[in-house]
Structure 1
């Protein structure tokens, strides 16, 4: 625990950083916020209103390296110069989640994975809310954990955790840890060493006790290989859509979702609000977590049936002259896009592109052959996409704005076909963020 009046420096002034600064101030610590970029006006106003010292577009080393503790925003890599200097001086550098976790005794359900964690977090929160559990939702989504812990009125927090957040967590532990899948992503932050990325994801299991639960995907070969190597003492609850053996939840041959924690829950997968194989896995994970907390079967079943998916994740935007438009802007890697294409039932005009994160598109080729009739590249540099899919799809065009991409989509698609924005890339070449990309897409669809 940090002693009163110690110097805390917060690096990064987004939602995570400002939340950590507010919590620091609330606990009576000296706090200084430093952002190497420009601070957004709403966050700057909050810092000023609360008399919190800050700087932007610079890092003043003499102030930062005088810290007793540094709370680092997840977007800042450990390789950044100021972080390396702090670590060399033995100044602890932790994540906002680690910091906030020191000030709550609430139960935590911690969810990570390369894909599906946002949906699973929202779905778990939805079930618990419907069961009248006093529950908060934080981590990689919504209001920061630190901001919520200031009042700390919740009994349970559902936390979506990225590998970057997990990297800065040392003493923190989950009560229920959920690991959905592991596929190559963000490898530029892990020296292109897949094992380092895997180890990062498995930090979700750190400090688990025999009283805790580890819920994980038994269909994921990387996860299963790691579980076999590690001594995880928590109660294990694997789930599968491929086998019914030795798992806590599964899909059987009759298309029923079954969770065999007593009392056993059985429901048809056709009743699930979320469609597609990957969403069956997300539903199993959220359902098992809810059953661990002894939520009634009726509430779990009803919640899995009436859930509305999150913005920018396979979000239905509308139909125009029989053409369906779907916003999956949050799909910033190949695996997320694979899941999106896998769940499509109609022929697809696919909008793809942006900043490539070292993508290998080979895994998409069978699905693209089967489902995609045209491709619209939405990015500054489309060479890799053109190289991967020329000859696989007859029609490939390039667009430089969401409006142009939607217009092409409307021209290329026919009634009972789908225009799918699922970029498989980051957004920062043409847009501020994946949210900005998704909102511009939706605005363009509504202007048709």
Structure 2
């Protein structure tokens, strides 16, 4: 069992169980800390609750009484719990530190960490980086926002392994000393303002990824993003830029024919199978991070000539009667949908809609030039219908949900059309997660066979 050697807290409140809270509670109990757990939705009959109690945890369920903070030295918060939550707000008022389990993971991993964040492209870049290392015969493990809880995986990471972490702004907001050897900052645009309230707060959370780095560490950053370039000016780490627009002597870049890292030619651009111009940024960021960890050009080549995308992110689902279906359910904001639309130059039927966060969708207008039809659903259906009409889209159809949208899209389609699910919205009005929404799309497509 790995020890928390730099964690000077004895009495810890774990707020919210789920996967991250359970993992945090487990490691804290294993390290002989006093753990109190507060969760609104778990039940006494849940197996995990009984297990944590048997290990010595105090568990308070079904309500959030303020007295759960009494005697606590620190709060380990589920990343999804907003800071307006009564317990969180009271903890801040009492000046009790608040972290997420990523802070614990940073102390547990013996190997070096590669931490990746950005408004879009995190999952693709994380997957590419880890695969490039693996294909270069370098030991690597993956965790974080991509699936496995960081704390769980960190406990298993050996000194010769890399731990590649996908990190959200929610996770990064709750760190103290977390310091990756390589930080990757992909892009920044307005997102999750229902949680962060201002773009400045959101940016500050993202920029935490390099706050604690020293001159022994590396910061891979997007040299084409003006906000990022300004933000990293005073970073203490060694800066390694990437760009799709200019040559970089100290980073990853491309020309019309090849991908490069510094002055080294890595591979031909034409051999990449991953669609979408936006993915070139993700590819260059992954190359920079992987090369810094020792990846070979052969390993990188093997990945980029076979990797066609991660699930729910411009994922090719199939060719049904000469219609090409793509699942981009992870496009939970407009920038992601803009990039998805920019990947195609043939007629597109766009399936979009979901949770209404109060914004309009006018920024999609320049990207609808190849969209011949839209099928809209969810809380934002009417807003998206208005944008489609403004753009002169020939047909805008309302659907009940994603499954209904697939059927209606197919009925209006012709051979060689792209039928693209790229919602531009979060899924929570109709589906628990974007993964569930994407899976429903895939199942509906397969039923067309």
What interval of TM-score do these two structures reach, taking the shorter chain for normalisation? Answer: over 0.9
Q: Which residue of 1 aligns with 2:3?
A: none
1:420 match: secondary structure: strand
Q: Give the whole-Å Cα distance in 2 for the aligned partners of 1:21 and 1:441.
A: 36
Q: Give the whole-Å Cα distance in 1 for the aligned partners of 2:347 and 2:39.
A: 45
Q: Which residue of 2 aligns with 1:194?
A: 199
- TM-score for the superposition, normalised by structure 2: 0.92
Query: Which stretches of structure 1, 4 residues or longer, exceed 6 Å deviation after superposition?
Result: none
Q: Give the whole-Å Cα distance in 2 for the aligned partners of 1:316 and 1:338.
A: 17
Q: Are 2:91 and 1:86 aligned? A: yes
Q: Which residue of 2 aligns with 1:142?
A: 147
Q: Following superposition of structure 1 onto structure 2, how do residues 110-129 of structure 1 map, counting pairs within 5 Å?
A: 110-129=115-134
Count residues in correspondence: 438
Q: Give the whole-Å Cα distance in 2 for the aligned partners of 1:217 and 1:358.
A: 29
1:301 match: secondary structure: helix
Contact 2:353–2:423, Cα closer than 8 Å, also in 1: yes
> 164, 183, 208: which is aligned to 2:189?
183
Shift of the alpha carbon at 1:23?
A: 1.2
Shift of the alpha carbon at 1:360?
A: 4.0
Q: Are 2:14 and 1:10 aligned? A: yes
Contact 2:112–2:163, Cα closer than 8 Å, also in 1: yes
Stretch of structure 1 that moved more, 143-152 or 233-242? 143-152
Shift of the alpha carbon at 1:46?
A: 3.0
Q: Which residue of 2 aligns with 1:20?
A: 24
Contact 2:356–2:379, Cα closer than 8 Å, also in 1: no
Q: Which residue of 2 aligns with 1:391?
A: 390
Q: Which residue of 2 aligns with 1:248?
A: 251
C-alpha deviations, 1:323-376, integer Å up to 9, x for none? 1111111110001111111112321100000013343422221110x2100011
Q: Give the whole-Å Cα distance in 2 for the aligned partners of 1:211 and 1:378.
A: 49
Contact 2:44–2:50, Cα closer than 8 Å, also in 1: no
Q: Give the whole-Å Cα distance in 1 for the aligned partners of 2:241 and 2:360.
A: 29
Q: Following superposition of structure 1 onto structure 2, how do residues 343-354 of structure 1 map, counting pairs within 5 Å?
A: 343-354=343-354
Q: Which residue of 2 aligns with 1:268?
A: 268
Shift of the alpha carbon at 1:83?
A: 0.5
Q: Which residue of 2 aligns with 1:35?
A: 39
Q: Following superposition of structure 1 onto structure 2, how do residues 49-88 of structure 1 map, counting pairs within 5 Å?
A: 49-50=51-52, 51=54, 52-88=57-93
1:102 match: secondary structure: helix
Unaligned ranges ≥5, structure 1: none
Unaligned ranges ≥5, structure 2: 1-5
Shift of the alpha carbon at 1:212?
A: 1.0
- TM-score for the superposition, normalised by structure 1: 0.93
Q: Give the whole-Å Cα distance in 1 for the aligned partners of 2:7 and 2:390.
A: 60
C-alpha deviations, 1:236-279, integer Å up to 9, x for none? 11111111155511121x23211126xx1332222123222211
Q: Using a 3 Å threshold, how does the CA distance of structure 1 residues 33 and 345 change in structure 2: closer, same or farther?
A: farther
Contact 1:269–1:280, Cα closer than 8 Å, also in 2: no
